[in-house]
Amino acid sequence: MNVLIINLTRFGDLIQTQPVISGYKSRGHRVGLVCLENFASATALLDGVDHVFPFPGAGLLAGIDADWRDAVRDSHQFRIDIFSSFLPDRTVNLTPSTASRLLAFDLTPENGTTIGFSVDEFGFNADTSSWAAFLQMAGSNRGSSPFNICDLFRRTAGLGIEGNSLQLAVPDDLPVAGVDGLLIQAPEDYTGFVALQMGASEDRRRWPITHFVQTARMLWERDHLVSILLGTKSEVALGERFEAEADFPFINCIGATSLTELACLLVRCAVLVTNDTGTMHLAAGLGVPVCAVFLATAQPWDTGPYRDGNICLEPEMDCHPCEFGKICHLSEECRWAVTPEAMCAAVKIVLGDDDFNVVPGVRTWRTRTGADGFMGLESLSGHDLSDRVLWIRLQRAYYLNFFDGIACEGKTGIAGQLSPEVACEILKTLTNAHDMLFLLSQQGMLLQKNPRPQAKTKFLASWQRLQNILAASDHLNILGLLWMFESQRCGDNFASLLILTDRYRTLISSMRDEFM
């Protein structure tokens, strides 16, 4: 079977597509990949891709501005080129944007199937599973996301346990000579290299340059590790700031490497110290140990490195992680909370020293694959029994079965470990939501028999009240978003809406019983 995967996102997300590719290859399928053309060179690092189809997104947009007919022609030709060389039996779209949905619809042959994000014949959203809907909604659930993005990709793509590892390819033609030319700057008495990625998608998610400098200095003095600065041309200024403070050996490669050269540099390093970046995912996929710091909206539960044994650090602050679009009233204190001492302690762990000293003010996690085959985190700093972590694990247990469409397996016992205040708050919301879902179910059955305008008005009012109940809870707002998204998708199919209502009522009832 030919499987065509579409991922029109950034470099890091493209790297995180590897488990989906590996999962389908393990089933014996041929895999094609559609990605943005400016990231096409990165596909050399993906293992198991049979065909790559670079999508000229910027060119098509420019064509629309110049003459929309040319853009339509070019888009149609893109489809013809794919179908002539790789006619897909299944099209898997992992990007929920409107453009990607339309592309998935266009790249699904008449007898083919679509998985993930698409549109129906009328142009409305048509997600193929609750996993896909959750993947789109999960970004709003900053405080307690229970699944790593790689696992969400796998489940959205219709995979089970297959592909639950991030093992990239190491191309045979890595530019070793060019990289060796960069590394000859190292002093004679060095013992190895540590890679530093100081950039991030936005400044508030970037660890201070001073902290990177202090960490690099300590690793040189303690272990004689020479720091290699990594980054794109747009991050050259970060390297200049590092150089202005550094009084020890380092090698500045910022803006001087291609993606394959970046991979070649990483595999020469003992460890990568980084923010939440695409470089972090690349290192994890290449088997390079990672110590990553997660600030502002970044959190390791959903975007952490997808490989066992890596270390994730985040500030021990009640407001972390913060929500998107909200102004910080603490002057971004979280950026400074994770100290260089905490990072150096993390490096010791990934280099094989089990003597870990807890650093106050920092949550330290080690990535590990759980019994369910999903990536998780274990606390090295005593945060395993915090309300946040317990709630993440409780969600994970219930949502996994709910999204897979199977019955819950009984109580987990996790709710009893939550603080009384949090448990009481969650129970109250679950109880109110359960009562409202029961009312919706009763009103829906009456409405089916006698669709009077007054009955419709009452049903819609109850529907909105349920949404309001869930949205008002910091712990269950993700369910409110998911309920609204999936129920709106039912459209005029009232029977489907009632089935969905019963599904949510069963979930809420099971979760409520957990607290009773």
Judge: domain 2-156, CATH 3.40.50.2000. Answer: yes
Report the pLDDT value the prediction gives residue 63, as an integer from 0 to 100.
61
Which tokens in the block code for residue 6? 């579409």
C-alpha distances out from residue 262 to 39, 178, 195, 269, 359, Å:
14, 11, 10, 11, 32
Which tokens in the block code for residue 89? 């039996």
End-to-end CA distance of the chain: 48
C-alpha distances out from residue 379 to 169, 254, 309, Å:
30, 33, 12
Distance CA 216, CA 273 (A): 9
Q: Are 262 and 284 a contacting pair, CB within 8 Å?
A: no
* Bridge partner residues of 377 (DSSP): 367
Report the pLDDT value the prediction gives residue 70, as an integer from 0 to 100.
73
Contacts 24+ apart (CB under 8 A), 478-486: 478/134, 478/137, 478/138, 478/140, 478/141, 479/433, 479/504, 479/508, 481/137, 481/140, 481/141, 482/130, 482/133, 482/134, 482/137, 485/133, 485/136, 485/137, 486/130, 486/133
Report the pLDDT value the prediction gives residue 80, as an integer from 0 to 100.
94
Report the pLDDT value the prediction gives residue 342, as an integer from 0 to 100.
95
Amino acid at 87: L
Report the pLDDT value the prediction gives residue 65, as an integer from 0 to 100.
61
Question: Which H or E run contains 401?
Answer: helix 387-404
Cα angle 489, 495, 501; round to 5: 70
Q: Are 55 and 34 a contacting pair, CB within 8 Å?
A: yes
Report the pLDDT value the prediction gives residue 140, as an integer from 0 to 100.
57
Which of the residues in the chain have pLDDT under 70? 58, 61-68, 139-144, 173-174, 177, 491-492
Do 176-384 and 2-156 have the same topology in CATH?
Answer: yes
Report the pLDDT value the prediction gives residue 10, as an integer from 0 to 100.
87
Report the pLDDT value the prediction gives residue 98, as an integer from 0 to 100.
86
Q: Which residue ranges make up each domain of the chain?
A: 2-156, 176-384, 415-514
Report the pLDDT value the prediction gives residue 258, as an integer from 0 to 100.
87
Closest residue by Cα to residue 53 from 79, 35, 29, 71: 35
Which CATH architecture fits 176-384? 3-Layer(aba) Sandwich (3.40)
What's the length of the chain? Answer: 516
pLDDT tens across 454-512, in order? 888 888 899 899 999 999 998 998 898 889 888 887 766 778 888 999 999 999 999 99
Q: Are 278 and 230 a contacting pair, CB within 8 Å?
A: no
- Tell me the residue ranges of DSSP E strands in 206-287: 225-230, 250-252, 271-274
